[in-house]
Structure 1
Amino acid sequence: MESSLTHVMLVSFPSQSHINPLLRLGKLIASKGLLVTFVTTEKPFGKKMRQANEIQDGLLKPVGLGFIRFEFFDDGYTPDDLDNKRNSGLLFTDLEVAGKREIKKLIKRYEKMKQPVRCLINNAFVPWVCNVAAELKIPSAVLWVQSCVCLTAYYYYQNQLAKFPTKTEPDINVEVPFMALVWKHDEIPSFLHPSCRYSIFTDLILQQIKRLPKTSSLLIDTFEELERDIIDHMSQLCPEVIINPIGPLFMMAKTTSSDVKGDISDSANQCMEWLDSKEPSSIVYISFGTIVYVKQ
């Protein structure tokens, strides 16, 4: 039966914060009656995900009207390699080389199994997936988990549509003419500020922005009522790409009954027990991300 279902392949950067939203999207797609293959690297997360969630490679798990399965490819790294290359940029270059090769192999394998991949979807730190899709003539889409206004900032920066802070002028504000909007120098995405400590990630995101014309659709984890004007503006800037607000994904995931998870560690039940002991609406949760730098 699964051979007759439309097959969508999702390729994720190997990080928990990237896996979670893409997997939410994958379960949502599967629940509508599609076959979803979720792909990421064997190291460092594949082994941990299997152990924490009892995942078997390639095993179909029912989700709503469809199915989802996991595949992990080997990027050839040892744990020492990961530690030594993580901050050098070589990790991302090597991931691209291995990823392109292994994703093509997977797609060809499923073609022989009469389960051809009809669409590729990736998240922002693996922009090379768009090239694989274009080479194999498969429609592709990108999941963007930040706001549309954040996307616009990157687009303006990449295409030099506005003047941004520089090392010599770090405190200048950014003027966005179409909405008579001004972003203060400390309001732009931190990756775009010259003080950013993680220029490697800036380069990855800008590579994805540059590849937008290769994609069929940009899926943004937002909703139209929140960012209607900026969504319309981005649609005018990129007429070749369909801008689709599909969020908030975390709420839609609640409507999908499934035990499929992509955690790399066992659930922190102690945290949930502590939260349950508090009064409703009495806790404020603030996430600073996984690479935030704070002085104290």
Structure 2
Amino acid sequence: MEGQLSHSNLESSDQENAIHMLLVSYPSQGHIAPFIKLAYQIAGRGIMVTLVTTENAHARLMTAEPELDNEQYKVRLITVPDGLSEDDTRNDEGKLAESISKVMPGHLKEVLKKANLEGNKVTCVIADPIFGWALEIAETLKLKLAIFWPSAPGVLALILNIPKLIEDGIIDTKGSPKMNGKVQLSPDLPPLTSADFLWNYSGHHSTQTMFQYFLGIQHTIKSSGWVLCNWFHELNPLVSNLVPNTFPVGPLLADGKPSGNFWPEDSTCLSWLNKQPAGSVIYVAFGSSSLFSQHQVDELALGLELVGRPFLWVKRSDLINGGSSKCPDGYEERVGDHGKIVQWAPQEKVLAHPSIACFLTHCGWNSTMDGISMGVPFLCWPYFADQFYNRSCICNGYKVGLCVSPDEYGIVTRQEIRRKLDSLFADDGIRANALKLKEMAQQSISEGGSSARNLENFIEQMKQ
């Protein structure tokens, strides 16, 4: 049902000028999870918060984390249709995004209208940068609008510099590189090459389509009055100079609350971790959308076996495109005394566990912030879009990780996995850098820290 509330018996505000922030997220886990964590932070400061997502995404959230629908978290959930039928798959991102852009603006207007009638007038919309139409709605209704940027500082810098890259003759108007060499977007970011341009990693979309998509995001961000970001100022201090109204408010963490998962967490891995020596376990997780071939899954499995160290592997049932992934014959029996394989894990709790030594990751920004927050070194294995530049930042900028190198056939071999993990375990410099970043991250969200002050400053501006 349009505008359906998951729970609506929060008290209506009787103050005419009370703040009510409406958060609107794209319906993928990589977007919804940081939006939910941002909602917790805002609601924890006494602000009324409503999160809007699609019915399909909400159903997945409720299946995985039914406790999310609990008034103690002070975040109201509202669902709207995504325009697709029940039989449609949501795996085709292009089809889903196109349908949402057609139907969601109308549903959002209805949600805003209904909130006004209930006496819970929305005063500010915080929108996903994908939703440029939210700007028009906010302007029409004279609402304040902020964009929440859920990815990395370097990716924001790249997108905001697209017009300058065209002007300087580095890329053409279709996003194709016109010259070789490196581009330095900000003094505190690693230089990027044309291989780091995120529109080049387009999956089943054309590079030109992806470039136009990011160009649209660039316009939306430039047009927005405020940009909230999931990082902390000290991570890349000079990036904030690119946008005057940037508010880094991260790292955004669930801190034991439901974290916006589409898969149920297997908490048995925590009791398993309790039995492992401190600093010994390799945590392996590739997020919610990475896909491998069966050959690559086999090489990963055999690589972890070759290393001979304890490992916790989050192996989604849909890790292989169009089928279920299998481990090599007899694998579970051979690694049973030191390997644990689960469908999904409580990632923040896992990374904070003293037995974790390192994080083999796809370099999604949510996972990157989780790892940085817990002081864990990274082994980077990016899959899509922004993850490749995130890898450059982790390895060359922050110097808290290493990266795997595929062979000439695009396969990361078992020998490469063992080689890089052995190197990571032996690198005291990376471990020291990771612990320094952890300390900076924790300070930023503590009382008086840069992220805590930024969020309070943003809320004060929303009151004006």
TM above 0.5, yes or no, is yes
Q: Secondary structure at the match of 1:284?
A: strand
CA shift in 2, pair 1:270/1:203, >3 Å: farther
Name the structure 1 match of 2:92.
86
In structure 1, C-alpha distance between the alignment counterparts of 2:176 and 2:131, rounded to whole Å: 31
Name the structure 1 match of 2:30.
17
In structure 1, C-alpha distance between the alignment counterparts of 2:187 and 2:180, rounded to whole Å: 18
CA shift in 2, pair 1:177/1:7, >3 Å: closer
- Deviation, structure 1 residue 261: 4.4
Question: Would you say the 8 A contact 1:10–1:39 is kept in 2?
Answer: yes
Q: Secondary structure at the match of 1:173?
A: coil
Name the structure 2 match of 1:175.
183
Q: Secondary structure at the match of 1:82?
A: coil
Deviations 1:78-105 (A, max 9, x none): 244335x825x34312201211011110
Q: Secondary structure at the match of 2:33?
A: helix
Name the structure 1 match of 2:125.
120
Name the structure 2 match of 1:107.
112
CA shift in 2, pair 1:245/1:259, >3 Å: closer
Question: Would you say the 8 A contact 1:55–1:70 is kept in 2?
Answer: no
Deviations 1:117-148 (A, max 9, x none): 11111223333322322222211111112222
Q: Secondary structure at the match of 2:359?
A: coil
In structure 2, C-alpha distance between the alignment counterparts of 1:279 and 1:170, rounded to whole Å: 52
Question: Would you say the 8 A contact 2:171–2:179 is kept in 1?
Answer: no
CA shift in 2, pair 1:177/1:268, >3 Å: closer
**Match of residue 71, structure 2, among 61, 73, 92:** 61
CA shift in 2, pair 1:245/1:14, >3 Å: same
Q: Which has the larger radius of gyration?
A: 2
TM-score by length of 1: 0.79
**Match of residue 227, structure 1, among 232, 236, 259:** 236
* 1:210-221 matches, cutoff 5 A: 210-221=219-230
1:185 aligns with 2:194: yes
User: Which has the higher relative contact order, 1 or 2, with Cα contacts under 8 A spaced 6 or more apart?
Assistant: 1
One-letter identity of the residue aligned with 1:276: N
Question: Would you say the 8 A contact 1:13–1:19 is kept in 2?
Answer: yes
* 1:113-152 matches, cutoff 5 A: 113-152=118-157
Question: Would you say the 8 A contact 1:223–1:246 is kept in 2?
Answer: yes
- Could you list the runs of 5+ residues in structure 1 that have no partner in the other structure? none
- Deviation, structure 1 residue 220: 1.3
CA shift in 2, pair 1:274/1:126, >3 Å: farther
In structure 1, C-alpha distance between the alignment counterparts of 2:25 and 2:62, rounded to whole Å: 16
CA shift in 2, pair 1:143/1:278, >3 Å: farther
1:264 aligns with 2:262: yes
Q: Secondary structure at the match of 2:161?
A: helix
Question: Would you say the 8 A contact 1:142–1:215 is kept in 2?
Answer: yes
**Root-mean-square deviation (Å):** 3.1
In structure 2, C-alpha distance between the alignment counterparts of 1:204 and 1:247, rounded to whole Å: 25
Question: Would you say the 8 A contact 1:127–1:207 is kept in 2?
Answer: yes
One-letter identity of the residue aligned with 2:66: E
Name the structure 2 match of 1:50.
62
Question: Would you say the 8 A contact 1:120–1:138 is kept in 2?
Answer: yes
- Could you list the runs of 5+ residues in structure 2 that have no partner in the other structure? 1-10, 281-356, 365-381, 385-405, 412-464
One-letter identity of the residue aligned with 1:86: D
Deviates more, 1:106-115 or 1:285-294: 285-294
Q: How many residues align?
A: 274
Question: Would you say the 8 A contact 2:52–2:79 is kept in 1?
Answer: yes
Question: Would you say the 8 A contact 1:141–1:215 is kept in 2?
Answer: yes
1:284 aligns with 2:358: yes
Question: Would you say the 8 A contact 1:52–1:264 is kept in 2?
Answer: yes
- Deviation, structure 1 residue 152: 1.0
One-letter identity of the residue aligned with 1:287: T
Deviates more, 1:106-115 or 1:150-159: 150-159
Deviations 1:53-87 (A, max 9, x none): 3369xx77133xxx21111111231244335x825
CA shift in 2, pair 1:212/1:46, >3 Å: same
Q: Secondary structure at the match of 1:26?
A: helix
